[in-house]
Amino acid sequence: PLDLWKWLYKAIVPPGRAVFDPFMGRGSSALAAIDLGITPYGCEVDSSHHAHLYNNVRTRYENVLGKNNVIFT
């Protein structure tokens, strides 16, 4: 679904803007946003996804931007 998220974001979200995903799961929407220079926000209530989500997003930020901008609360 990463390519689908990228296609959707390219079609409707201006670069430099932000998106919110209320059902982040393992973070595909956030990864696509980071790749396109869009700031991702979101939440996930299923705690079984939290560690994987955090690691995916943190690693992508470090690889794409060279820094870790991830805040999980």
> Which residues have a Cβ under 8 Å from the Cβ of 4 and sit 6 or more positions away?
none
What pTM, to 2 d.p., does this model score? Answer: 0.84
CA–CA–CA angle 11, 17, 32 (5° rounding): 60
pLDDT in 10s for each residue of the chain, 73 residues: 899 999 999 999 987 899 999 999 989 999 999 999 899 999 999 989 888 888 888 888 888 877 666 666 5
Q: What was the pLDDT predicted at 69?
A: 65
- Report yes or no: 49 and 42 within 8 Å, Cβ to Cβ: no
